[in-house]
Chains A and B, each alone.
Chain A
Amino acid sequence: MPDIFDFGKNSSFVLICYGVSIAILGTMILMTIRRRIRAARNLAKIEQKSRDLS
């Protein structure tokens, strides 16, 4: 453990709190971006197809 990550006697509590926050917020951000890209791409594909059909 490098020195800057040493937060006294409750070091593990601090690190777990930041770690879990990063993990959960990060997962939410990634999932949101993935859904966003997928939805936009899917819509573009279907719009293109419906233009071809009509």
Chain B
Amino acid sequence: MFSYFANPVRFQNLCRILVPVLGIGALLLIVPAWAMGLFFVPPDYQQGDTFRIIYVHVPAVIVASLAYAFLAGASFVSFVWRHSLADTAAKAAAPVGAALTFLGLFTGALWGKPMWGAYWVWDARLTSTLIMLFLFLGYIAIRSAIRDEVASTRIAAITAMIGAINLPIIKFSVDWWSSLHQPASLLRAGGPAIDASMSWPLYMSIAGYACLFGWLVLQQMQSELDERRAYALVQRASGRVASKASAQSKGNPDA
């Protein structure tokens, strides 16, 4: 399947269908979900209106984790099979993932203040999300630091895979650490089942964010491919001009 879509023409045909579908899907899912979440869903009996943050917080965190999994998977494919489209996908996914992770942390902090009385707690979920933000930033940093195209691609792929190994280790460590130092977890495990009228907008919002992520990644990939193709055309043209010029200078002994 990977090699099937390695062909840029096939990829472009795929984009022609997927991009509008994902774009319209994101719009039709996120906007109603937010509107329902803000104005139509009844307030939570414990948290009041504050729980409405859930419709921007949970989707951001879930899709950010998906984005890291996607980044690591694409990096693996790009490293092992030298699949250039997978690398383009990884490159496009990293900034989107970083932005979603930041959004998740930001909204989580603002939700945490009224709920737990603190903007930030060092529990496993928060800490590993924060580390994930640093993994995204490290990936972007190392990618832009290495000038050589091939080396930067492959080194960045290795960096993403190291991060994928590291994340579960950190999760485990912080779980261990916080179980030692904190009397009880502040997050309710499971919690009371929420009403269907509250959960539907949440599912819609998650699906919408996922569509938006796909849309952003595909659009960035297409831009990247266009830019590369334009660059290659310019290179070829300037090569032709140069060879013509050198042929002329050889033909003319005075020059």
Residues of A at the B interface (CB closer than 8 Å) are: 4, 7-11, 13-14, 16-18, 20-21, 24-25, 28-29, 32-33, 35-36, 38-40, 42-43, 46-47, 49-50, 53
Contact = CB atoms under 8 A, between A and B. Distances in A.
A35 B230 CA distance: 14
A1 to B, nearest CB: 14
A39 to B, nearest CB: 4
Contact of B110 (A16, A25, A38): A16
A10 B230 contact: no
B49 A10 contact: yes
Nearest 6 CB-CB pairings of A with B: A7-B49, A39-B226, A39-B223, A8-B49, A21-B56, A10-B50
A20 to B, nearest CB: 6
B190 interface: no
A13 B113 contact: yes
B50 A14 contact: yes
Given A28-B99, A50-B233, A50-B237, A36 B110 contact: no
Interface stretch (B79-87, B140-148, B171-179, B212-220): B212-220
Contacts of B102: 24
Contacts of B57: 17
B219 A32 contact: yes
Contacts of B113: 13
Interface residues of B, number: 38
B159 interface: no
A39 B12 CA distance: 14
Contact of B50 (A13, A21, A29): A13
Given A24-B102, A24-B103, A46-B234, A17 B216 contact: no
Nearest to B225: A39
A43 B38 CA distance: 43
A44 to B, nearest CB: 9
A21 B107 contact: yes
B48 A8 contact: yes
A14 B56 CA distance: 10
A28 B96 contact: yes
B103 A13 contact: no
B50 A8 contact: yes
Contacts of B234: 46
Given A4-B39, A8-B43, A21-B103, A43 B226 contact: yes
14 contacts: A7-B52, A8-B48, A13-B110, A14-B52, A14-B53, A17-B106, A20-B106, A29-B212, A32-B216, A35-B219, A35-B220, A43-B226, A43-B233, A50-B237
